[in-house]
Structure 1
Amino acid sequence: MPRRALHPCQHPGCPNICEGRYCDAHKVMHPNNDRKSSAERGYGSKWQKARKRFLDRPENFFCLECKKEGVFTRATVVDHITPHRGDPALFWDESNWQPLCKKHHDSKTWTEDKNPTYKY
Structure 2
Amino acid sequence: MPSRPPSHRSAGWRPPEQARRERNGAHDVQRRRDAPWRAWYGLRAWALAREAQLARAPLCERHGARGEIVPATVVNHRRPHRGEWALFIDPANHESVCKPCHDREIQREERASSIGGSRSRSGV
TM over 0.5: yes
Aligned counterpart in structure 2 of residue 89 of structure 1, from 86, 90, 104: 86
Deviation at 1:110, TM superposition (A): 3.4
Alignment-mate amino acid for residue 113 of structure 1: R
* SS state at 2:76 partner: strand
Structure 2 spans left out of the alignment, 5+ residues: 1-11
Write the distance in 2 (CA, Å) between the matches of 1:113 and 1:79. Answer: 15
Write the distance in 1 (CA, Å) between the matches of 2:31 and 2:39. Answer: 9
* SS state at 1:83 partner: coil
Alignment partner, residue 99 of structure 1:
96
* SS state at 1:78 partner: strand
Instruction: Name the larger-Rg structure.
Output: 2
Write the distance in 2 (CA, Å) between the matches of 1:100 and 1:61. Answer: 9
Q: Considering Cα pairs closer than 8 Å and 6+ residues apart, tell me whether 1 or 2 has the greater RCO.
A: 2
Alignment partner, residue 25 of structure 1:
none
Q: Percent identity?
A: 30
Structure 1 spans left out of the alignment, 5+ residues: 1-5, 13-20, 23-29
**Are residues 1:10 and 2:19 paired?**
yes
Alignment-mate amino acid for residue 35 of structure 1: R
Alignment-mate amino acid for residue 47 of structure 1: W
Alignment partner, residue 71 of structure 1:
68
* TM-score of the aligned structures, taking structure 2 as reference length: 0.64
* SS state at 1:99 partner: strand
Write the distance in 2 (CA, Å) between the matches of 1:7 and 1:46. Answer: 44
Alignment-mate amino acid for residue 52 of structure 2: R
* TM-score of the aligned structures, taking structure 1 as reference length: 0.66
Alignment partner, residue 61 of structure 1:
58
Deviation at 1:71, TM superposition (A): 1.2
Spell out, residue by residue over 1:16-71, the C-alpha distance to the aligned partner (whole angstroms, 9 max, x if none). xxxxx34xxxxxxx8554122998531023211210111112xx111111112221
Write the distance in 1 (CA, Å) between the matches of 2:113 and 2:13. Answer: 35
- When the two chains are superposed, the root-mean-square deviation of aligned CA atoms in Å is 2.9
Write the distance in 2 (CA, Å) between the matches of 1:38 and 1:72. Answer: 35
Write the distance in 2 (CA, Å) between the matches of 1:111 and 1:10. Answer: 31
